Amino acid sequence: MESPQHAQPEVSSMLNGHDILITGATGSFGRRCCLEILKRYAPKRLIVFSRDELKQSEMQSDPAFQHPAMRFFLGDVRDKERLKKAMAGVDYAIHAAALKQVPAAEYNPHEFIKTNINGAMNVVDAAIDAGVKKVIALSTDKAVNPVNLYGATKLCSDKIFVAANSYSGKNPTRFSVVRYGNVVGSRGSVLPCFYKQRNTGTITVTDLAMTRFLITLRESVDFVLNAMSQMMGGEIFVPKLPSCTLKEMAQAVAPDCKQETIGLRPGEKMHETLIPADEAHLTLEFDEHFIIQPMLPFWQSEATNLGGRTCKTGFSYASNNNKQRLSRQALQDMCEEIGIPTEVSPESARFEPASCAN
C-alpha cells in the first residue's frame, strides 16, 4: 500500500544539520521515526527522550541506532525541568509520549491525566522556553467525541497543542497535531494478536462488523514528517487511509480459524471517526490528507497559501463511511510487511485461546 503522503524535498532540508527531539522515542512509532530520520536525513542531534531505561539500553545496543547523531536522555514528560534541559538547543520536536491502554485508563485516571494532559502542557512550556521552531504532537481517533478516559485525555492534549500557538505569543515556536487510526504492527495491535492465536484454532474478536482505519508505521512516520514540513501552527493533519472490518482482518490472518465473539469492551467504539461532522466547516480536503483548521485565526493571511477544498456541511470521515476499502490482498501484503505470514498451516489446536484486545 502506498504511503498517504510521500517524503518531500523540504523535509530533508528542514532536518539536515538540526537538532531533533522525540518524546516517547522508545515506543513503536518513536523507534521507527528515529530509523527513518537517520536513513533519510543528516541531523546534528537526534534526541531520544523517554522514561524506560531498559528500552533505551536496548536501542543503544542496536547497531541501527549506533550513529554519532544519537543522544539518549532519560526523563518523563511529567517532569518539566527535565524536559527543559532536554529541549535546550532543539530545533524540532515530535511528541509521541503517552499512556494509551484504554482499560488501564479507566482504572488509573490520575496517571493518564498526569502523562497525557500535564505532560502535554510541560512539552509546550519547555518548547517555548527553549525556542524550538516546530512541535508536532501525535493524536488518535479516540480523541474524537471520546467515550473513554484515554480519548478524553488526548482530546485535552490536542486542545493544548492547538491553543499553544496563541500562548507562545511573539515566540517563534509553532505547534500542530497529527491524528490517525490504528498502526499496524504497533504494540497491542490486533493483527499480531490474531497471528499469536491462530495456532490454537480459535481467535477472539470483539465484533466482526467493527471497522477500523489502518496505517503502517512507515506510513505514519512519512505523514508526520511531511506534516511538520508544511505546518504553520494550529492545524490538525489527518491522512486519507483505507479501512476494513474486523472480519476482513481475521480472514486475512487466520481464515481457517473459528471466530469467538466476545463483545465490545467498555469505552470501545464500533467505528472510528477521524473528522466529526461538527468540524466539517473547519476542514480542508487535499488529495492525500485533510487539515482541520484551528478555531482561532493563528494563520492570518498565510492560510490562503495552503490551498485545499472546503468540505461540505455535515461531512464526516469515519471508518464505516470511508470509500477507500482494503482488499484482502492489500491486508495480506500489510501483514507480510510487518512480518506476519498469511499462509496458515492446518495444525490442530494445542492451547486454550487467549483473549486479545481489539
- Residues forming the active site: 142
Of 234, 79, 116, nearest in space to 164 by CA? 234
CA separation, residue 41 to residues 13, 46, 60 (Å): 8, 11, 19
- The count of other CB atoms within 10 Å of the CB of residue 111 is 13
Helix (H, G, I), strand (E, B) or coil at 297: coil
For residues 160 and 124, is the Cβ–Cβ distance under 8 A?
yes
Name the one residue in this structure whose C-alpha cell is 480542508.
284
Which residue blocks in 16-142 are alpha helix, DSSP H? Answer: 28-40, 53-61, 80-87, 102-107, 109-112, 119-130
The length of the chain, given as a count of residues: 358
Q: How far is the C-alpha of 243 from the C-alpha of 106, rounded, in Å?
A: 27
Beta-sheet strands, E only, within 61-169: 70-74, 92-95, 134-140
Q: How far is the C-alpha of 356 from the C-alpha of 203, rounded, in Å?
A: 9
Of 133, 137, 105, nearest in space to 119 by CA? 137
For residues 334 and 2, is the Cβ–Cβ distance under 8 A?
no
Contacts of 286 (CB under 8 A, 6+ apart): 307, 308, 309
CA separation, residue 111 to residues 267, 279, 331 (Å): 18, 30, 35
